Structure 1
């Protein structure tokens, strides 16, 4: 582990991991716009089919979300990251190749989405367990904030670039660039040399028992449980929004591909602001009240989306959403990592992914099904209502009064 006084930018391991994340995230943001536009423009897909395409990417979480954590803990983390990047790159390359061969189809897009989701599941579980081994404990919040800056910057630049690429070079070319971004991430990860922690064979308890231990840890923890429930509800709402935002912008707001990209980028600028201020906010305010405030903020943003009648209103609503979400993510991720023993990090991350992300395909599918009878705007109102309810679990738990980040060895510090 690095010396506490070292700057994160001077740590080659963290710097390479951060750069790898940045390359892949920019490409991913291009594909978030390009993938549904491939279905809409080239395959004449319906709103339901587009939402199902989004949902399929999260099906691996429902199928393998829990065992993924136990598997990752048994392995060295860097090879998991490398295989995940390679798998996603190969899957995405299939789209432009099929387009050139005139073999592009919705079943192929569904298959690609599934493989990309599978790679993302294992990458995120391994990355969340690997990062604490690359930096000192007191640097962890700063490291998470820097990764969120990268994520938010990609969300700012990616949609704009995606809109331009789709409009002038076609959507398959945009997806090709995402595949290349995963290859760039793969190369950078080859230079990461962190302390590898894998469960020795003699300490393994069997897959079922290890999964059960991870579940019990999260479900019984007074801080992790309410945050997991909050994330599950918020993700249920956001899944519908993310699956339908391009359709809403194109069909209801009548925006061009370039305009949609600009609007999504303007909205995602809120995430960049959130990433930049989350570090200073974490030093000035206790984590519990800060988490509650961030939930209220992104809930307000969600309510602004169905009120929008044009590009400016829609972009501003997304700006507020992502501002709150990123502050919540930085503070919440740091809290979870510090509250979890190292040997349980993989299972904690996987269990939370299963609980939190398991609602994403459900939200996307239900949102798509409700479009025909209720309309896009009504579906966005329902999503906003569910988002508001997400504040309830942490509001009525020790999270609300948490005054300092906990550690895996101590009880959480709360006000009386």
Structure 2
């Protein structure tokens, strides 16, 4: 194996027309999704008077499709053109999110409707997220991937700052359901950008029969499980996401009901907490270059997780600053380490296995998210919201120990290519 080093790309992506369109489209849909991440719980809490567990179920429904269809989706993405997949998913998501304000205006909106929208929107995300991550290496050269991932993750981090603030403002002025129209508009913009791209992938082979699909799923999982780097990353991601989503599922309910925070202020708090993602995206390439990709990723993850202990200390007034500090630190580490991890996975995994390895890792990483959301809702109901936050923050810190079970701690840099299994 050779070590992965990060250096500036010789071809600036600002001059890459198709990447600019992909970047604009993805940034737009990420912004819309960030608005919905706040608007949907606010609709449930403010409009439908949902319980803590019902709000947690909404969060679980968004991620459940990774468990249900994640693996076969990876095989289909391998065998179908990725850009049409993304276009189809954007159009479907647009229609789903338009249905919520429409139902509200007709006075027929229910929590069941929100759950169905969350579940089906999550299904579109499974296909779109997988297709986009596999499409990117075909669009860019290998030496452009780190910069490309940093730009995309950076705009996503900006969306996590702007989106919640916009959602809170929209909810305050026009009602939370109106925020979902902004998400629908974002998917329209993404669709237009994808249609305008000139890049075309090679024609794919026709979909495989059922036995071939099972064989291909097994092949991708075998590669993932046997590889010492990827399996540790997947295991850590699963444990960390369980804890992260466990507190995120009850966070807005905690701010509104435990601390009496108004919808507009909730959006601002969540936005500022997410600003750490912008910092992480900005620092990721520098951290990887100066500290090494393996060492930098470990430092980003283990050095920021303890700040999650500030979240359950949050209270009205000056104590809101604890939420801001804790959220900024945690999101900085998460985004920076994700950029390094994604670039490593895209250059390290054989191209013909990439979508199956991505969905395999997502199945493990995201598969714990519905359980984390349900666990957060259960603990918030049984123990109370603040004790549940303490439990999840502690679990996040403990999860970082998984990274030291494999070869990551032994090297400065991650490898760039696999050895035969």
Task: Name the TM tier (shorter chain).
Answer: over 0.9
2:359 maps to: 350
Q: Is the 8 A contact 1:133 1:195 kept in 2?
A: no
Residue of structure 2 aligned with 1:395, choices 377, 392, 404 = 404
1:374 maps to: 383
Alignment of 1:52 onto 2:57: yes
Residue of structure 2 aligned with 1:106, choices 83, 100, 111 = 111
Q: Is the 8 A contact 2:277 2:334 kept in 1?
A: yes
Residue of structure 2 aligned with 1:125, choices 121, 130, 154 = 130
**TM-superposed deviation, 1:255:** 1.1
Deviation larger for 126-135 or 191-200: 191-200
Q: Is the 8 A contact 2:11 2:144 kept in 1?
A: no
1:214 maps to: 220
1:244 maps to: 250
1:151 maps to: 156
Distance in 1 between residues matched to 2:263 and 2:240, nearest whole Å: 27
Distance in 2 between residues matched to 1:239 and 1:375, nearest whole Å: 17
Structure 1 segment 2-401 matched on structure 2, within 5 A: 5-197=10-202, 200-201=205-206, 206-309=212-315, 310-401=319-410
Distance in 1 between residues matched to 2:52 and 2:323, nearest whole Å: 19
Distance in 2 between residues matched to 1:303 and 1:292, nearest whole Å: 19
- Structure 1: 5+ residue runs without aligned partners? 412-416
Distance in 2 between residues matched to 1:76 and 1:257, nearest whole Å: 41
Deviation larger for 396-405 or 145-154: 396-405
Spell out, residue by residue over 1:334-372, the C-alpha distance to the aligned partner (whole angstroms, 9 max, x if none): 111111011111101111110000000000011101112
**TM-superposed deviation, 1:410:** 5.0
Spell out, residue by residue over 1:307-336, the C-alpha distance to the aligned partner (whole angstroms, 9 max, x if none): 222321111111111011011110111111
Q: Is the 8 A contact 2:79 2:207 kept in 1?
A: no
**TM-superposed deviation, 1:106:** 0.6
Distance in 1 between residues matched to 2:376 and 2:188, nearest whole Å: 33
**TM-superposed deviation, 1:379:** 1.0
TM-score by length of 2: 0.94
Q: Structure 1: which 4+ aligned runs deviate by more than 6 Å? A: 202-205
Deviation larger for 84-93 or 389-398: 389-398
Q: Is the 8 A contact 1:253 1:311 kept in 2?
A: no
- Structure 2: 5+ residue runs without aligned partners? 1-8
> 1:195–1:405: structure 2 CA closer, same or farther, 3 Å change rule?
farther
**TM-superposed deviation, 1:401:** 2.4
Distance in 2 between residues matched to 1:253 and 1:202, nearest whole Å: 53
**TM-superposed deviation, 1:396:** 2.1
Partner SS for 1:254? coil
Spell out, residue by residue over 1:258-292, the C-alpha distance to the aligned partner (whole angstroms, 9 max, x if none): 11111111111111111111111121111111111
**TM-superposed deviation, 1:400:** 1.5
Partner SS for 2:107? coil
Distance in 1 between residues matched to 2:11 and 2:271, nearest whole Å: 33
Distance in 1 between residues matched to 2:202 and 2:401, nearest whole Å: 36
Q: Is the 8 A contact 1:255 1:311 kept in 2?
A: no
Deviation larger for 81-90 or 277-286: 277-286
